[in-house]
Structure formats: C-alpha cells, structure tokens
C-alpha cells in the first residue's frame, strides 16, 4: 500500500510525496480524501477578491485523524489592519471561516470538522 501525502503551505498545494520516512512529520490521507479537500478549497470563494481559499492561502495545513474520525483545518489569520478596518476585516474573516466550515461539513458529513486559527 502506497501512502500519499499532500499538504498545503500558505495556499500552495505541494504534490504527492511517498515515503515512510516522512510519516512522523506529515498527515496521510487517501487520494479520494485529498481530491475532496482540494474541491472544498477551490469552491469556497472570498467575495471581495473573487479568489478561492486555496488561492489566497487562508488554509495553512490540514490534519486528519482516522482514529478520531476528525479533520483539523489550520487557517492563517489575516494580517493586522488599523482602526476601523480591523472590525471589517474580522467580520469578513469570520464569514469566510464559517463558509469554509460549512463546506467541509457538507463534503465530509461523516467526519468531525474543527477549524484552528494559527497566528
């Protein structure tokens, strides 16, 4: 059985890596799950820019626990803004994250989904 690794760093999808040596550092998923994750990241669109979540780099990494039947989606917080813009940016980020979580739940109804914001 070949282990396929696909992970996301700042919105850049890194291709399949196959190596047992990497097992302790990366999170393993089957190709069907990888394709479904890619589909979610491509279909969730940030309304202001019109870019997908994958393109803007909001998702830093995704970890799958088969034992817990859980997907952990690590997101990267938007950069700091000043004054009144902060409230608008936080509101927009909240809406995007809610939409992302809804789409993951639709695509993976059999899994628990948890979004973790990484600073």
**15-44 per-position pLDDT tens digit:** 333 333 233 334 567 888 888 999 999 999
H or E stretch covering 115: strand 112-118
Residue with structure tokens 């990241």? 41
The pLDDT tens digits for 37-93 are 999 999 999 888 899 988 888 888 899 888 899 999 998 866 555 666 777 777 788
How many domains does one find in the chain? 1
94 pLDDT band, cuts 50/70/90, is confident
Report the distance separating Cα 10 and Cα 56, nearest Å.
Answer: 8
Residue 58 lies in domain? 5-118
Report the distance separating Cα 92 and Cα 40, nearest Å.
Answer: 19
99 pLDDT band, cuts 50/70/90, is very high
pLDDT at 6 over 60: no
pTM: 0.70
**Helices marked H in the chain:** 31-43, 53-56, 84-107
pLDDT value for 41: 92
Could you give the C-alpha distances from 7 to 10, 37, 77, 79, 117, in angstroms and in order?
10, 10, 18, 22, 17
pLDDT value for 115: 93
Quick one: which of 62, 70, 119, 63 has its CA closest to 93? 119
The CATH number of residue 17's host domain is 3.30.300
């Amino acid at each position: 059985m070949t282990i396929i690794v696909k992970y996301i760093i700042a919105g850049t999808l890194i291709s399949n890596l196959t190596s047992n040596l990497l097992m302790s550092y990366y999170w393993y998923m089957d190709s069907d799950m990888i394709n479904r994750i890619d589909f979610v990241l491509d279909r969730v669109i940030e309304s202001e820019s019109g870019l997908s979540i994958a393109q803007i780099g909001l998702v830093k990494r995704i970890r799958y626990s088969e034992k817990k039947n859980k997907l952990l989606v690590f997101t990267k917080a938007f950069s700091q803004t000043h004054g009144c813009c902060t409230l608008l940016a936080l509101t927009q980020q909240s809406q995007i994250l809610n939409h992302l979580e809804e789409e993951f739940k639709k695509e993976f109804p059999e899994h628990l989904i948890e979004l973790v914001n990484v600073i």
